[in-house]
Structure 1
C-alpha cells in the first residue's frame, strides 16, 4: 500500500539530497540546505507610501466591478507576477520574471500590506515566476530551469537565511540547450494527489516539427508532475503552447488551465483558451491548432495525429489569459463559489488592445463553462495600459488578490454587499 510522504519525510529526503550534491549546487544553496549562515544580512525593502502608491490608487478609481465589490491597493510590489498565500495567512510570496521573489506581510491585519521585502536574498533566482504552497506549509518556487523548496517559509522568511533545497536541480527541468528567453514563466500548484504540477511553455510561436518528439518526452509545451520529494517525474498534459495558470476543481479534482495562443494570425483569431483536463495524457492541440479549432498556418495541411481536447471556454483573441484560481471562500455571494477567477494580461499582437482585466468563469454541474468580465478598466480612452493583471489568489478571509506586473502592484478585491 502506497502512502503519501509526510512533510517531515520530504524534508529529510531533500536534505540528504542536498548534502550529497556538494559542489554540484551553488554555494549559498548548499549552505542553506545544511542550515549554515551565508553572511547575508540585508534585505531590499519596497516603500509602500508616497506618490507612486497614490498614483496606483488613482487608477483603481476607474476600475468597474459588480455591485457590492470594492478594490484597493494591497501592496506595491515591483514586477509582481504569480502569488502564493501562506497557509498560516502570515505572508504572501510574489514571483517575478526577473531575479526577485517578494515577501508581502500585513502585520496588523487591516488588509493592506505593511511590509514588502525580498525573500531569500542570499540566493540568485532566475525568472522565479511561480511560487506555490503545499497545505502543510512547504513553499515551492518554479524558475526558468529549476524548482526550489523552502520548508517552513512562513517562519524562516523573517531572516535573510532560509532553509532551501533543490526539488528539481538547475538544468533538469528542461534540457539546458532548450532554455529560451521566450515563454519561460513557469507556474506550479499542488494537486489533490499531493503531487506538484508544473507548466512548461514551449519557446516558439508555433513549435517546429523537428522539436516535437523531444518536447513530448520532456513535457515542454505541456505540464509535468512530480512527487513532493522530486521523484516520479511524468508528463501529465500535452499540446499546450504556453500555459501560465492552472488550478484544480475543488470538488472533482480535475485540472483546469489557461493557454496563450498563436500570434501573427490576425486581430480576432485564434481564441484564447481555458481548458479542462479529465485524464492524464490528454492532448490540447498545439501545434496543429493555434487556439480553439483554428488550424495553424504551419500545420494546416497536415492530418492531426492525436485526439484533441477542445477548450472548455474560448476567450477573446490575444487577451493573454494567465493566472487563475478556483474560488472557495465564503465572503463573495454564493454564485461565485466554485467559479474561476482569472487574469487577462492584455494583448500585444492586436490593433486595438484587449484584456487587462479579471474574468470570472462559472461552471455548471455538467462541467459546462461560461466566462464574463469581473474587474476591468485598466485600458484607458487612449488605448493605453494602466495596468496588466497577471494572477489571482485568495486570502483566508475570502477576498482575492490580483497581481499587476506593469503597475508593480498587488490589489485586493472584497465584497461589502448584502447578498
Structure 2
C-alpha cells in the first residue's frame, strides 16, 4: 500500500535522550511485584530522576503550538514534557495525573504549585517491569488501575504514595491472563480502561490482525479480543461486554445515561477513503458492532467477509470520521469552564494517519449530543499539528482528559508532551 509524506523527527529528540538517560540509571528491573505485594522493599534507588521541563524541546513545542487553531476564546499551552505520553488518568484528590505509554513507563505528572503547568514529571513505580502500560484509570475509592498488554495492576492511593519506587500493588489480572499468551502481538496491543457506573472494570481488547482469519473468530468472541470485556475489580466475574470491534483505543461513559462510548480504528488497505472511522455507543451488554463483516457501512472484502450475511442486530456507529485518521482517546466534558455548547458532549483525539496518500487527522474533535443521548454534530475543535502542505506531523494527539478546573488536557506521544486548553470569554 502506498505510503507517502512520512513524518520527520519531531522536537522530542532531546527529551527522548533525557528519558533514556533516566531509564539507564534505574535497575535492570527484575520482576519485583511479589516483593511489593508483600510490602517489602525492592532495593531500587529511592531517588527517581525527574524529566526535564525546560530546554530546546519545550521551546520548540511552544512554538509549534502557535500553529494550533482553536475556536474563539480558547488558548492552548504546554502543560508538561512527558515522553511517549498516551492515555491519562486525572487524580481524584490532587493536582496530578498518571500517564501511560506503549513502552515500559507510567509517568506521574504533578502540578505542586497549582499554576496550571506541571512542576514535576517522573516515573511511577519504577521498580516494576511494565509492558505496554497504555491504559490508566481510577476506581471510585482512589486506586489507580494500569491495563498493560496482558496484565492489569491496581495501586491503592497511588496519588499519595507515588514518591518512591516501591508502591503497594495488587494483580487484578496476572501476567498472561488478559488474553491467551499465544495471541500476544506487537500490533493493536494498547489497552484502555474505565471503571463504569456499575463499579466494574471495562477494558478494550484490539484484535491483532488487519482482518482476523476465520479460524480466530470463535476464540476471539469467547475471550473478548476485538471487543470490550468487563470484570469485577478483583478480576472475577469476567464477561465479554461488546463484540465486533476491530481496535478500540479510547472509551468513556456518558454520566447522564450511563452508556459507554468508544472509538474504533478500521481496516487498512482498502483505499484512502474507506472504511471510515467509528465512534460507537453501547447501551447494554452483549451488543455486536459489525466487525469484520461491516464497518461504517462498508463491507470488508479481506477473507471474503463481504460474502457473508451481516449478523442480525449489528449496531451502527453513532459517528463516522475520516478514514484512517486514527480515532483514539475520548472524554465527556463534565465541567463548566467551557461554554454551554460543550457541556455534556465529548472530545476525541485523532492520532493521524500513517497509511493514507494524503495524511489526515492529528486533531481534536468535539461531538454534541441530542436530547435522546445520541450523537448530534461532530466538528473539528483543535487542529494544526499536521502541516497540510508538507504532510509533516508536528504532533499526534492521543488522549483527552478533563481537569478539575474545567481545562482540557491533550496528550501527544510524538512530541512527548501534554497540552492544556483553557477558555475565557473573548
Q: Does 1:164 pair with 2:169?
A: yes
Equivalent position of 2:26 in the other structure: none
The answer to whether the 8 Å contact 1:64/1:377 transfers is yes
Q: Does 1:276 pair with 2:276?
A: no
User: Which sections of structure 2, spanning at least 5 residues, go unmatched?
Assistant: 1-29
Counterpart-to-counterpart distance in 1, 2:298 and 2:423: 39
Equivalent position of 1:388 in the other structure: 396
Counterpart-to-counterpart distance in 1, 2:319 and 2:98: 29
- Residue 360 of structure 1, aligned match among 360, 366, 374: 366
Q: Does 1:230 pair with 2:235?
A: yes
Counterpart-to-counterpart distance in 2, 1:372 and 1:90: 30
Please list, as runs of the form range in 1=range in 2, the aligned pairs for 1:95-174 lying within 5 A after superposition: 95-174=100-179
Deviation at 1:362, TM superposition (A): 0.5
SS of corresponding position for 1:154: coil
Cα deviation per residue 1:252-283 (whole Å; 9 max; x = unaligned)? 00000000011101011111001011111000
Deviation at 1:27, TM superposition (A): 4.8
Counterpart-to-counterpart distance in 2, 1:371 and 1:118: 36
Cα RMSD for the two superposed structures: 1.0
| Misfit runs of 4+, over 6 Å | none
Q: Does 1:337 pair with 2:353?
A: no
Cα deviation per residue 1:11-37 (whole Å; 9 max; x = unaligned)? xxxxxxxxxxxxxxx751111111111
Taking structure 2 as the reference length, the TM-score comes to 0.91
SS of corresponding position for 1:153: coil
Counterpart-to-counterpart distance in 1, 2:382 and 2:170: 38
Please list, as runs of the form range in 1=range in 2, the aligned pairs for 1:27-46 lying within 5 A after superposition: 27-41=31-45, 42-46=47-51
Cα deviation per residue 1:136-170 (whole Å; 9 max; x = unaligned)? 21100000000000001011101111001100000
Counterpart-to-counterpart distance in 1, 2:310 and 2:322: 24
SS of corresponding position for 2:221: helix
Equivalent position of 2:326 in the other structure: 320
The answer to whether the 8 Å contact 2:277/2:321 transfers is yes
Counterpart-to-counterpart distance in 1, 2:114 and 2:140: 21
Counterpart-to-counterpart distance in 1, 2:183 and 2:408: 36
Counterpart-to-counterpart distance in 1, 2:223 and 2:157: 30
Deviation at 1:65, TM superposition (A): 0.4
Deviation at 1:89, TM superposition (A): 2.6
Cα deviation per residue 1:75-96 (whole Å; 9 max; x = unaligned)? 0000000000100133210000
The answer to whether the 8 Å contact 2:242/2:286 transfers is yes
Q: Does 1:405 pair with 2:405?
A: no
Q: Does 1:181 pair with 2:186?
A: yes
- Residue 377 of structure 1, aligned match among 384, 389, 396: 384
How many residues are treated as equivalent by the alignment? 392
